[in-house]
Amino acid sequence: MSAVHDSAGPTSPLIDPFGRGIEYLRVSVTDRCDFRCVYCMSEHMTFLPKQDLLTLEELDRLCAAFVRRGVRKLRITGGEPLVRKNILWLFNQLGRHLQTGALDELTLTTNGSQLSKYAQDLKAAGVERVNVSIDTLNPQKFRTITRWGDLSTVLRGLDAAQAAGIKVKINAVALKDVNEDEIVDLIRFAHGRGADLTLIETMPLGDIEEDRTSQYLPLSIVRARLMDTFTLIDDPYRTGGPARYVKVKETGGRLGFITPLTHNFCESCNRVRLTCTGTLYMCLGQDDAADLRRPLRASPDDALLDTAIVQAIARKPKGHDFIIDRPSQKPALARHMSVTGG
Residue 240 inside a domain? The answer is no
CB contact set of 46 (below 8 Å; sequence gap of 6+): none
Residue 1 inside a domain? The answer is no
Measured distance CA(313)–CA(289) in Å, rounded: 10
Q: What is the pLDDT of residues 292-306, one digit of tens each?
A: 999 999 999 999 999
Ranked by mean pLDDT, which of 15-24, 83-92, 231-240 comes out on top?
Answer: 83-92
| Strand order, beta sheet including 289-291 | 232-235, 244-248, 254-258, 196-201, 167-174, 129-133, 105-110, 73-77, 24-28, 271-274, 279-281, 289-291
Range of the domain at 91: 24-171+268-340
Query: 16, 70 in Cβ contact below 8 A?
Result: no
Cis peptide before 79 (omega within 30 of 0): yes
Q: What is the pLDDT of residues 199-225, one digit of tens each?
A: 998 865 444 455 545 778 899 999 999
Measured distance CA(142)–CA(139) in Å, rounded: 5
Q: What is the pLDDT of residues 33-90, one digit of tens each?
A: 877 777 776 777 778 888 889 999 999 999 999 999 999 999 999 999 999 999 999 9
CATH number for position 300: 3.20.20.70
* Mean pLDDT (whole number) for 228-245: 90
* Mean pLDDT (whole number) for 314-334: 58
Rounded to whole angstroms, what are the CA distances from 251 to 60, 71, 158, 190, 232? 40, 34, 19, 10, 10
Place 317 in a pLDDT band, splitting at 50, 70 and 90. confident
Q: What is this structure's pTM?
A: 0.86
Residue 289 inside a domain? The answer is yes
Q: Is the pLDDT of residue 329 over 70?
A: no
Residue 73 inside a domain? The answer is yes
Which amino acid, one-letter code, is at 270?
Answer: N
Q: Is the pLDDT of residue 234 over 80?
A: yes
Of 130 and 238, the one with more pLDDT: 130
Please report, rounded to a whole number, the percentage of residues in the chain having pLDDT higher than 70: 84
User: Is residue 90 within a helix (H) or strand (E), and if so which, with residue range?
Assistant: helix 87-100
Residue 19 inside a domain? The answer is no
User: What domain count does the chain have?
Assistant: 1
Q: What is the pLDDT of residues 164-186, one digit of tens each?
A: 999 999 999 998 988 999 999 99
Q: What is the pLDDT of residue 92?
A: 98
Rounded to whole angstroms, what are the CA distances from 334 to 41, 150, 205? 12, 28, 6
Mean pLDDT, the chain, rounded, equals: 86
Give bridge partners of residue 130 from the DSSP assignment. 108, 168
Q: What is the pLDDT of residue 7?
A: 58
Query: Which of 258, 239, 238, 260 is closest to 319 using CA atoms?
Result: 260
Query: 74, 27 in Cβ contact below 8 A?
Result: yes
Measured distance CA(320)–CA(150) in Å, rounded: 34
Q: What is the pLDDT of residue 284?
A: 66
DSSP state of 106: E
Residue 60 inside a domain? The answer is yes
Residue 154 inside a domain? The answer is yes
Q: What are the two backbone dihedrals, phi and then psi, of residue 100, each rounded to the nearest 5 degrees?
A: -85, -10
Place 240 in a pLDDT band, splitting at 50, 70 and 90. confident
Residue 40 inside a domain? The answer is yes
